[in-house]
Amino acid sequence: MTIWKVHRTALLVGLTALLLLALAALQYRWVGALSQFERQQMSRTLEVLADGLADDLDRAFGRIRSTLDVGRSRDVEEELLEEFEDWARSNDFPELVSDVLWVDQDDGRLRLRRLGMDEGGFQELAWTDSLRSLETPLRELAGAGRRRFRQDGNVMALVDEDRLAFAVAQEERWPPSWAVALLSRDVLEEQVLPFAVEEYFGTGEEREFDVWLLDGADNVIYASNPGADPASMASPDIREDLDDDGPPWYVAASHRAGSLDAFVGEYRVRNISLSFGVVVVLGISLVFLAVAKRRAEWLAGRQMEFVAGVSHELRTPIAGISSLSQNLADGVVQNPGQAARYGLSINRESRRLADMVDTVLRFAAIRSGRNRYEFEPVDLAPVIDHEIEAVVRAGDGGRHVDREIDPELPPVEGDSEALGIVVRNLVSNALKFGGESGPVTVSARAAAGPAGPEVEISVRDRGPGIPKSDLPHIFKPFYRGRDAREGQVVGSGLGLSLVQEIVEAHRGRVEVDARTGMGADFRVRLPVAKPEAGNGRPE
């Protein structure tokens, strides 16, 4: 039956482990599919956002282009002035255009004039060094013929660090002529483009993508995040060109993680780690459940052994008391000396019975949390003497107990009754398991501890010792070693468990040095009472 239970437990654990592995495989595939879907969704979203931003910029520059295109109008000055004033009134950023110029061909040269807003007409200008970047491409277009002029008539050039020139070809006029808007680079970079980018991609930390506006030579006109990795700009997640009639610019965007693929890779690793973490937690929980089940089975077995042992030990003193008292009641004993011996025997058995009941009740109180200690400075010397006398008087082992108690022993902070139980159990065990190899020695002395001065109580016997296999279990409740079971030594298996519980409640510790054939030495270490200590549990 036991073998079947073990095999059944192993089978259940194995099946559960296989289910966890299958779950891990399914999670891996599911996370992969989810990551791919997330990549596609973010790519579509990015495409919509970049396209919307490019369209808005197209419309903005398209309005400037339509404003500057005067067609076949005879009064160019009046037409430009009227169109530009309408544009400025209806535009959110009228400061974007700082000046309007007119360039046309006159006797084989390019003539440059400025539209005076206050004067209401053109004013002659010389080609300055800053405007040469505009003159050169316009001169090439003017000399390229009518067909080339109609195809590549619009020009965007950097005039200086503060201005850009947007030249709009007048395709319905010949010889070649252009209306030029000088754009403020500060207004473009600090107002127009940030406003457009924030409208589509969000602001600050909530923005998932870095956005750039680049010219045809990949020069940066605007960057939403100047500190972004240049590699992200060189290989953006998306590139969206502006309209052919506008400036030869394009919008580029990449995820702030470096790229969409990098972000999705991190997202996938994070999700896989989380999923496998859940699986690992389930696996660990399974192991803990299996261990808890085995421990519960072991505890149940020990409890059954405890019930059987206690029942046997209860019957022994009860039977003795009943028999002896019955003999006294029936008048079988007439001799006063024999009656006195009967009385001593009844007293010994009743004390044995009371100690057993007290042990069980105290163990139950400690485990349920109902046990309370009355802490006060305790002189251990009389406690040790009293418990030794009580054990010897009860007849446990019938042997002598040597005492080696330091007369200058300092007091400890504790519950004298509970500490007496510690001494009683250790001495009783030493007498029961020490055999006939020599006396039991109880010593108490002051000692240095890691947290301050301590008192060490040692109970040594010269018996057969404790088998190495039993040592890890001797403080477990209901545990009785193989020698105790085979030798039918009386006991409940609760004594050492109570000792450890009480000592630890007193901020102390129990140590044992026991080797087979060399006897056993149990040492209890308790902190010395502080001079100002009073009643109550020590801090």
Q: Which domains does the chain have, with CATH numbers?
A: 56-255 (no CATH), 355-527 (3.30.565.10)
Q: Beta strands of 289-347 (E only): which ranges?
A: none
Percent of the chain with pLDDT over 90: 7
Residues 6+ apart with CB under 8 A from 507: 526, 527, 538
Question: How high is the pLDDT of residue 279?
Answer: 73
Rounded to the nearest 5 percent, the helix, strand and coil shares of the chain are 55, 20, 25
DSSP state of 358: H
**Mean pLDDT, rounded, for 269-275:** 77
> Does pLDDT of 53 surpass 70?
yes
Contact 398, 439 (CB under 8 A): no
Residue 526 has pLDDT above 90, yes or no: yes
Mean pLDDT, to the nearest integer, of 192-212?
85
Number of other residues whose CB lies within 10 A of the CB of residue 242: 20
Average pLDDT over residues 310-318: 65
Q: What is the pLDDT of residues 139-190, one digit of tens each?
A: 888 777 777 666 666 777 777 778 888 888 888 888 888 888 888 888 888 8
Q: What pLDDT was estimated at residue 437? A: 63
pLDDT band at 535 (very low <50, low <70, confident <90, very high): very low
The whole-number pLDDT of residue 456 equals 93
Average pLDDT over residues 394-414: 80
Q: What's residue 525's pLDDT?
A: 93
What does the alpha-carbon distance between residue 201 and residue 46 come to, in Å, rounded to a whole number? 9
pLDDT bin (cut points 50, 70, 90) of residue 369 is: low
- Give the three-state DSSP class for 408: coil
Residues 151, 144: Cα–Cα separation, whole Å: 11
For residue 528, the model assigns a pLDDT of: 92
497 membership: H or E segment, kind and range: helix 495-505
Tell me, what's the pLDDT at 398? 54
Specify the pLDDT at position 166: 85
Among candidates 112, 114, 91, which has minimal Cα distance to 103?
Answer: 112
Specify the pLDDT at position 5. Answer: 55
Count the neighbouring beta carbons within 10 Å of the beta carbon of residue 53: 22
Mean predicted confidence (pLDDT) in 64-73: 84
| Whether residue 196 has pLDDT greater than 60 | yes
Whole-angstrom Cα distance, residue 376 to residue 535? Answer: 5
Q: Are the beta carbons of 268 and 246 closer than 8 angstroms?
A: no
pLDDT digits over 322-350, tens only?
A: 777 777 777 776 677 777 777 777 777 77
Residue 519 CB contacts under 8 Å (≥ 6 apart), including other chains? 434, 437, 438, 460, 461, 462, 463, 464, 465
* Whole-number average pLDDT of the chain: 79
What is the band of 289 on the pLDDT scale with cuts at 50, 70, 90? confident
Phi, psi of 402 (to 5 degrees): -85, 145
| 465-488 residue pLDDT tens | 888 878 888 887 767 666 665 555
Highest mean pLDDT among 127-136, 353-362, 480-489: 127-136
* Residue with the larger pLDDT of the pair 275 and 524: 524
Q: Is 539's pLDDT higher than 60?
A: no
Using pLDDT thresholds of 50, 70 and 90, give the confidence band for residue 538. Answer: very low
pLDDT value for 165 = 85
Which pLDDT value is given to residue 383? 92
| Residue 110 near residue 103 (C-beta atoms within 8 A) | yes
Top-confidence range, 2-11, 225-234, 475-484, 519-528: 519-528
DSSP codes of every residue in 40-80: HHHHHHHHHHHHHHHHHHHHHHHHHHHHH--TT-S-HHHHH
Q: Which amino acid is at 359?
A: T
**Rounded Cα gap, residues 360 and 354, in angstroms:** 10
82-102: buried (b, 16+ CB within 10 Å) or exposed (e) per residue?
ebbeebeeebeeeebbebbbb
Q: H-helix or E-strand containing 156?
A: strand 155-158
Which tens digits make up the pLDDT trace of 75-110? 888 888 888 888 888 888 888 888 888 888 887 788
Residue scoring higher pLDDT (536 or 261)? 261
What token pair was written down for 70?
């005067």
Q: What is the pLDDT of residue 308?
A: 61
Q: How many residues does the chain have?
A: 539
Q: What is the pLDDT of residue 476?
A: 78
